[in-house]
Amino acid sequence: MLLALLILLLMAGGIASGFLARVSHAACRWLALITVTIAFAIIVSVWIDEGLSMTQTDSWLRDLYIPWIPSFGIAFHLAMDGLSLLMLALTFFLGILAVLVSWKEIQYRVGFFHFNLLWVVAGITGVFLTMDLFLFYFFWEVMLIPMYFLIGIWGHENKQYAAYKFFIFTQASGLLMLLSILALYFIHGEQTGIYSFDYFSILGTTLSPETGRWLMFGFLIAFIVKLPVVPLHTWLPDAHTEAPTAGSLLLAGLLLKTGAYGLIRFVLPIFPEASASIAPVAMLLGVVGILYGAMQAYSQTDFKRLVAYTSVSHMGFIMLGVFAFNELAMQGVVMQMITHGISTGALFVIAGVLYERIHTRDILRMGGMWKKVPFMGTVAMIFVMASLGLPGLGNFVAEFMTLIGAWQANKLFTIIATAGLVFATAYSLRIMQKVFLGKNIEGHSMTDLSLREKFILVPLCVVIIWLGLFPQQVINAARPTVANSMHAKNHTAIHQEAQTNHVKYTSAFTLEKGGSHEHE
């Protein structure tokens, strides 16, 4: 129930703050802030409740099952395991920051903005929780529309174009996933006689290699567009660049992660053989992404665009790690999801903070800011270093585990990916050089971070350093999920277990189905 409550809370909070804006903008902001903070508090309390070390083997912490569209075997089925917990914690953490970061930036249509913001967060929450494929697709799409509005209404100069591109790319790939979901549904139904979209039922479906591969492509394409993987990445630089700061924060921090999450949650467990068979190609794509993203990032002059391309590069590690098929790499991926969310999010916040002050994102027009804003410079330095994978910061742990895991799978690709770190250094340092070091060419004068901005950036710093030095809790939390997705080969066992857990539901289906809905 708690899980549904989370989503409802966010949706209700969104609507309420939307209306409250008619009374007072400040009240609207506060309400939004409080809503997300409550959600965050709930997740933290769950985490504490489950014990911070999370050493238990049973991977499911919470489960909620409400039949929704029984004719299709669709249920409102939410469940949370360690991975979901981590992702939710990240979601609400960044959600809080997204509200804060918009405090000054968003001055028109405040109510509608916060409505959209909270609904994006709600949609993402749904994506991270749902255990029903139909519901998953449902949330997958639901999070797009408010995001589209965030970009399209409050974005920068070229916002319409970016918003279209974002929407169309994700929709196109999402629909292909819907096809796969439906095909899976019918294949599973024909095999077992149980027509259900439930994740745990679907897991056990046996597929012929050919079918398996095609169906996996459907899922894969949705996730790698979101991730994004070169050459499906071109929506991302535009979307990131044009979105308002909160939008970029959510895009980079969370929306990209839904792709990675999908890979771990769905692609590997449901299609173990098929994903193993394309692993080399997928890893190659990852490597290409790492290098291509880095190369593109190097030449960009728009701060946000640059950071966007670094995301492309960093997400390459996720592809590399996921398809390395071992626990280390997968743990690295989980870590990367979180740390990238934080470090790139922070860089976007910095870009936003700069934009608020000097109204440009062109790094060629910046320079020498350190003298004026040493605090901001220090913070930026930390995240630039995080983005180039400096040990001691979270990203290093992620990348190191990913690479060392990937090494077991493919040595050549790992070497190239490791070399990508050199390029990461090149583009990361370029940010520092062009923005904070060098000479202040245009003589911008500006004030250092305000208290509110410190409130946003300092926690991010603390978290990224914390993750760099004490990442074990995160690793422990993700362990059961990672293990499950890893041992995809003997998934039938897990499936059976899951089946018994859900036997009451599935049997309810069978009755329902047998009576009314025959697919001959």
Instruction: Return the number of the residue (435 or 498) whose C-beta is nearest other proteins.
Output: 435
Under the binding rule (CB under 8 A), the answer on residue 323 touching other proteins is: no
Under the binding rule (CB under 8 A), the answer on residue 145 touching other proteins is: yes
Which DSSP letter does residue 109 get? S
Stretch 448-477 residues interacting with other proteins (CB under 8 A): 469-472, 475
DSSP code per residue over 428-445 = HHHHHHHHTSS--TT---
| 409 touches 325 (CB < 8 A) | yes
**E strands of 197-253, at which residues?**
none
| Residue 72 CB, nearest approach to other proteins (Å) | 7
Structure-block tokens of residue 222? 């949705």
Under the binding rule (CB under 8 A), the answer on residue 364 touching other proteins is: no
User: How many CB atoms are located within 10 Å of the residue 212 CB?
Assistant: 21
Place of tokens 């997705």: 485
Under the binding rule (CB under 8 A), the answer on residue 19 touching other proteins is: no
Instruction: Return the number of the residue (119 or 199) whose C-beta is nearest other proteins.
Output: 119
Structure-block tokens of residue 104? 């000054």
Among 47, 65, 137, 219, binds other proteins (CB under 8 A): 137
Which DSSP letter does residue 81 get? E
Binding mask 369-408 for other proteins (x = CB under 8 A): -xx--xx--x--x---x----xxx---xx--xx-xxx-xx
Instruction: Return the number of the residue (230 or 246) whose C-beta is nearest other proteins.
Output: 230
Distant-in-sequence, close-in-space partners of 165: CB < 8 Å, separation ≥ 6:
234, 235, 238, 239
Among 15, 42, 368, 446, binds other proteins (CB under 8 A): 368
Under the binding rule (CB under 8 A), the answer on residue 207 touching other proteins is: no
| Residue 191 CB, nearest approach to other proteins (Å) | 14
349: left (phi over 0), alpha (psi -120 to 50) or beta: alpha
| 388 touches 341 (CB < 8 A) | no
- 3-state secondary structure at position 74: strand
User: How many CB atoms are located within 10 Å of the residue 385 CB?
Assistant: 22
Instruction: Return the number of the residue (296 or 506) whose C-beta is nearest other proteins.
Output: 296
| Residue 267 CB, nearest approach to other proteins (Å) | 19
Stretch 274-313 residues interacting with other proteins (CB under 8 A): 295-296, 298-300
Structure-block tokens of residue 213? 């591969």
The two counts, helices (H) then strands (E), for the chain are: 24, 2
Q: What is the C-alpha separation between 242 and 92, in angstroms, rounded?
A: 23
Under the binding rule (CB under 8 A), the answer on residue 12 touching other proteins is: no
Under the binding rule (CB under 8 A), the answer on residue 178 touching other proteins is: yes
Under the binding rule (CB under 8 A), the answer on residue 508 touching other proteins is: no
Give, to the nearest 10 degrees, the angle between helix 394-409 and helix 451-469: 40
Among 437, 446, 455, 466, binds other proteins (CB under 8 A): 437
Instruction: Return the number of the residue (38 or 390) whose C-beta is nearest other proteins.
Output: 390
Binding mask 233-262 for other proteins (x = CB under 8 A): xx--x-------------------------
Under the binding rule (CB under 8 A), the answer on residue 447 touching other proteins is: no
| Residue 419 CB, nearest approach to other proteins (Å) | 5
Stretch 52-111 residues interacting with other proteins (CB under 8 A): 68-72, 109
Under the binding rule (CB under 8 A), the answer on residue 156 touching other proteins is: no
